[in-house]
Amino acid sequence: MLDIQLLRTQLDAVAARLATRGTVLDVEGFKVLEEQRKQLQTRTQDLQAKRNSLSKQIGILKGKGEDVAPVMAEVASLGDQLKADEDSLAQLLTRFNAFVAVIPNLPHASVPLGDDERGNVEVLRWGTPKAFDFAVKDHVDLGSALGGLDFETATKISGSRFTLMQGAIARLHRALAQFMLDTHTTEHGYREVYAPYLVNPDSMFGTGQLPKFEEDLFMVPRSDGTKLYLIPTAEVPVTNIVRDQIVAAERLPLKFVCHTPCFRSEAGSYGKDTRGMIRQHQFDKVELVQLVRPEQSWDALEQLTGHAEAILQMLGLPYRKMALCTGDMGFSSAKTYDLEVWLPAQNTYREISSCSNFEAFQARRMQARFRNDAGKPELLHTLNGSGLAVGRTLVAVLENYQNADGSVTVPAVLRGYMGNLERISAA
């Protein structure tokens, strides 16, 4: 959520910056709402003040044993107007909050301008794609020939966009997640977290998935009429650890790493990446989350992105780092780097990690604060990034480490997690 004071005092500047990301702010609509709010709130509070002081008088008069009837009559006359005003103010504030809740974050000044993914800027490129002297297979052909990737059976069990893994490939998938968790906890200073996969609407609001993106989520209705949602990323439960909290300054920065499955309905992506496990309803991801003092968040973004890059480097997977442009960033983000891994079968780089600084946008929605040096509560800055998407990393390993005979070499750093297996071959 944006700071409402900022909207009030610099409305045109906010609208201009939002326009760079393709968001049209209803400036006139806001002005009208704000004008009504101001008038109604002032009037309501005046009436409340009057009621309070008269009621207090009644208490004092009664204590002295004097007649309170005249004052009672006076305060009674306020009643109807006050109640009406309180009701309409509550309604107006609901509308006001709904208006603000769907405004995306402001892009940081360093974010390149652009309308869509074509405006993204390559920041760096690491590694050289291997030159194969045979016709490369994609992960679907490799995996099914190895007897470990089975999309048909997954479709029978659940439907499209699900994967069934078995044997050495399932183990490789697990090895990747373990390797990432171990690296981030032992080398990058993150604390391991196990978190719920189902969360309540307040948590989804806190990180910005609700109210605007409900169609991207799997919702689970409950018999008592409430709802839970399957997490689309561990960002949601982990960032919400600090919701409605004032964190002691000396505990900062908080750095968490969490491995979870992620569930996305992929509404609106019909026909996109239908082959293989690039775009699934369920996939595993190791997520990095940092909660930091505001003045540290931009350094933290560079570090966090570096932590995700380290995994790709240790796996020897060529990648490039993209600074997303204003038009391609997510709703809550002030700045995002995407890491794109080289996929030989697609002859291109594909997203495998997304690292963002949200500044105070999520913290304001969550009321996540710390006590600053002046002793006052101040909003935290929140960041997160994939470190990495496990399913896509599996795809990248299969394709980049394939051999002419259809076997796949196990990257050296994973062998300890694979019983020292060096190569996955058809059984």
Partner RNA sequence: GGAAGCGUGGCCGAGCGGUUUAAGGCACCGGUCUUGAAAACCGGCGACGUCGCAAGGCGUCCGUGAGUUCGAAUCUCACCGCUUCCGCCA
Active-site annotation, residues: 264, 279, 351, 354, 392
Q: Which of residues 239-268 bind RNA (CB under 7 A)?
A: 246
Report if residue 55 touches RNA, rule: CB under 7 A.
Answer: yes
Closer CB to RNA, residue 339 or residue 363? Answer: 363
Closer CB to RNA, residue 83 or residue 423? Answer: 83
Closer CB to RNA, residue 65 or residue 375? Answer: 375
Judge contact between 263 and 232, C-beta under 8 A.
Answer: yes
Which run of H or of E encompasses 199?
A: strand 198-199
Q: Among 19, 27, 49, 220, indicate the residue that binds RNA (CB under 7 A).
A: 49
Q: Among 9, 53, 313, 348, indicate the residue that binds RNA (CB under 7 A).
A: 53
Judge contact between 369 and 245, C-beta under 8 A.
Answer: yes
Across 370-389, b (16+ Cβ under 10 Å) vs e yields beeeeeeebbbbbbbbbbbb
The footprint of RNA on this chain (CB under 7 A) covers a number of residues equal to: 30
Closer CB to RNA, residue 38 or residue 125? Answer: 38
- 158 beta partners: none
Report if residue 66 touches RNA, rule: CB under 7 A.
Answer: no
Report if residue 59 touches RNA, rule: CB under 7 A.
Answer: yes
Minimum CB separation of residue 206 from RNA in Å reads 16
Closer CB to RNA, residue 100 or residue 136? Answer: 100
Q: For 323, list phi and psi in degrees, rounded to 5.
A: -90, 115
Report if residue 65 touches RNA, rule: CB under 7 A.
Answer: no
Among 25-33, 34-42, 266-274, 330-338, which window interacts with RNA (CB under 7 A)? 34-42
Non-local CB neighbours of 85 within 8 Å, separated by 6+ positions: 40, 43, 44, 47
Q: How many CB atoms lie within 10 A of CB 274?
A: 11
Minimum CB separation of residue 128 from RNA in Å reads 48
Judge contact between 389 and 109, C-beta under 8 A.
Answer: no
Closer CB to RNA, residue 200 or residue 425? Answer: 200
Minimum CB separation of residue 298 from RNA in Å reads 23
Could you write out the DSSP letters of every residue in 230-296?
A: E-SSTHHHHHGGGTTEEE-GGGPSEEEEEEEEEE---TT-TTSS-STTSS-SEEEEEEEEEEE-GGG
- Nearest CA to 370 out of 243, 247, 200, 241 is that of 247
Q: For 121, list phi and psi in degrees, rounded to 5.
A: -115, 130
Which run of H or of E encompasses 33?
A: helix 27-64
Quote the CA–CA distance of 279 and 271 in Å, as a whole number. 11
Quote the CA–CA distance of 207 and 238 in Å, as a whole number. 10
Taking residues 75 to 94 in sequence order and writing x for each that binds RNA by CB under 7 A, - otherwise, the string is: xx--x----------x----
Minimum CB separation of residue 271 from RNA in Å reads 40
Among 49-57, 189-197, 274-282, 382-390, which window interacts with RNA (CB under 7 A)? 49-57
Q: Among 10, 13, 62, 251, indicate the residue that binds RNA (CB under 7 A).
A: 62
Q: Which of residues 347-386 bind RNA (CB under 7 A)?
A: 369, 375-377
Judge contact between 319 and 352, C-beta under 8 A.
Answer: yes
Closer CB to RNA, residue 76 or residue 124? Answer: 76
In the numeric block, which tokens belong to residue 94? 């609901």
Among 45-53, 125-133, 252-260, 263-271, which window interacts with RNA (CB under 7 A)? 45-53
Q: Among 20, 23, 36, 48, indicate the residue that binds RNA (CB under 7 A).
A: 48
Q: Among 51, 174, 212, 227, indicate the residue that binds RNA (CB under 7 A).
A: 51
Q: Among 20, 23, 36, 41, indicate the residue that binds RNA (CB under 7 A).
A: 41
Q: Among 24, 63, 221, 427, indicate the residue that binds RNA (CB under 7 A).
A: 63
Report if residue 36 touches RNA, rule: CB under 7 A.
Answer: no
Closer CB to RNA, residue 261 or residue 330? Answer: 261
- 266 beta partners: none
CA 350 to chain centre: 20
- 386 beta partners: 287
Binding positions for RNA, rule: CB under 7 A: 4-5, 38, 41-42, 45-46, 48-49, 51-56, 58-59, 62-63, 72, 75-76, 79, 90, 224, 246, 369, 375-377
